[in-house]
Amino acid sequence: MASVAIIDYGRGNVRSVKNAVEHCGTDAVVTADAHVLNDASHIILPGVGAFGDAIAALKAQGLPDILRDQVIAKGKPFLGICLGMQLLADRSDEHGAHDGLGWIAGDVARLDPGPDALKIPHMGWNDVTLTAAHPLFTRLKPDQLTFYFVHSYHFRTADNAHQLARCAYGTPFTAAVAKDNILGVQFHPEKSQDSGVALLENLVRWNP
Amino acid sequence: MLKKRIIPKFLLRDGRLVKYVRFDEQPREAGNPVSTAQVYNDYGADELIILDIAPSDASRAKVLDIVGRISEQVFMPLTVGGGVRRLEDVTDLLRAGADKVAINSQALRDPGFVKAAAQAFGDQCITVSIDYRDIGNGVFRVFGDGGRAGSPHDPISWAKRMQDANCGEILLTSIDRDGTLSGYDVEIVARLNAALDIPLVVSGGCGGLEHCIAAFGAGADAVAISSLFLFTDHSPIKLRSHLVSNGINVRASKTSRN
């Protein structure tokens, strides 16, 4: 029986993530406690706000080490959402240079408004193109691959093999990453109605 | 490609869903906000905007409760505003389940508040809501306190100033058109869109499909719709299919996705 721990580090709308996971019929708990995390079968790292501030908040609660134990050492299925995905990178240049968790090689850079002077943040529903097959997207038909995004920065993976899906806003950017048991999505499944709930259902059924 | 958004807008008074015409006539009752939100979710609305138009200590608690109950059942972005004066108000709304918080009158009282809120919670969490009306001779001015408090600000220069204060989105409402079903103020929308680098949601006056097409044509990223959905037989499903057939890039309707 799956049970999902949603990391609470004082950033982001964690209640919506909990609501959406519970809507899948799965137990969910919002926590920063090592013992509670140890009891969970799956871990979600949500997050909105600024990269440096979020890393500092994680460190203040000793979470990088706790998560490393659960996700890297024990191999628990993990999903980072939005900033929670970007935090997996080696570094970000959002408001100064900051080190990330370094679990998936790459860096985080500001979206380029390009010649069309696109509006930043990239906010709203956009189509996602899968670049690899993965259980996270099973049962989602091609016309269901539309998700809600809100972000100003994007994850540039160093190795294309870690990219699971792309989205285009002016230029293509990484919409989802995967490396072993570690997954990340730039969009918000908890805000993406049926498509997002289906993705979270896939996550809690996934036992790599 | 990024989709244009269709956003039902709820006005709450003492926790009840109401609808006004031009902000100042007697409100019409418009139903239960939680069940109405579920209906719009089933219709595939892209987001919801929820504004408390007569904020008080008592209504604040009701709004938090309503937002909490909506966020348990409805998995789309929620923008909530009305009476947001302190950073703690933003915290409370985000904790209750809001994704974005709309700031209006407090920005006029203290423009530094928007910058502080954007810094504390992230730019994308902070929407600045701008209500404006024509005060004569084609001069437009921003109004606070539900249209009661005048200001010296032109809506376009005010929106740019709020963008410079790092808000993530502008919600622009024409008081003159609100509730009238007479169409969006497309001229201002076009001028504002040309001036902004952040997303623009336009509100006030939508009475039909052609009004949405005109607003999107003028550069709006999203249309907020209230009376049209509440008091006519239009729904987000019907509007969406009309927009698709008119070449507007919106999400495919929910029925066709299932």
Cβ contacts of B251 within 8 Å, gap of 6 or more: A125, A146, B3, B44, B46, B240
Contact A193 B77 (CB under 8 A): no
Contact A150 B77 (CB under 8 A): yes
Q: Does domain A3-205 have CATH number 3.40.50.880?
A: yes
**ipTM beyond 0.90?**
yes
Query: Which among B237, B63, B79 is positioned nearest to A148, based on CA atoms?
Result: B79
Alpha carbon distance B207, B226 (integer Å): 9
B93 to chain A: nearest residue by CA? A13
Query: Which among B24, B70, B56 is positioned nearest to B176, based on CA atoms?
Result: B24
The structural domains of chain A, with segments of one domain joined by +, span 3-205
Question: Average pLDDT, stretch B149-159?
Answer: 97
Amino acid B28: pLDDT:
77
Cβ contacts of B138 within 8 Å, gap of 6 or more: none
Predicted structure pTM score: 0.94
Question: Average pLDDT, stretch B148-159?
Answer: 97
pLDDT at B258 over 70: no
B179-231 pLDDT, tens digit each: 899 999 999 999 999 999 999 999 999 999 999 999 999 999 999 998 888 77
Query: Which among B53, B80, B75 is positioned nearest to B64, based on CA atoms?
Result: B80
Angle value at C-alpha B251, between A191 and A79, nearest 5 degrees: 30
Superfamily of domain B5-257: Aldolase class I (3.20.20.70)
Contact A48 B125 (CB under 8 A): yes
A22: left (phi over 0), alpha (psi -120 to 50) or beta: alpha
B25-64 pLDDT, tens digit each: 677 777 899 999 999 999 889 999 999 999 999 999 999 9
Alpha carbon distance B108, B130 (integer Å): 10
Are A19 and B95 in contact, with CB atoms under 8 Å apart?
A: no
Which residues 64-93 in chain B show a CB within 8 A of chain A?
Answer: 68, 71-73, 75-77
Q: Strands A163-169 and A122-130, how do they pair?
A: antiparallel
* Positions of A marked active-site: 82, 188, 190
Bridge partner list, A81: A185
Contact B199 A190 (CB under 8 A): no
Q: Residue A94: which pLDDT band, with cuts at 50, 70 and 90?
A: confident
B-chain CB neighbours of A50 within 8 Å are 122
Amino acid B10: pLDDT:
93
Which residues 234-253 in chain B show a CB within 8 A of chain A?
Answer: 251-252
Among B97, B198, B254, beta carbon nearest to A15? B97
In chain A, what's the furthest Cα-to-Cα distance? Answer: 50
Question: Average pLDDT, stretch B89-97?
Answer: 92
Query: Which among A205, A204, A147 is positioned nearest to A176, based on CA atoms?
Result: A147
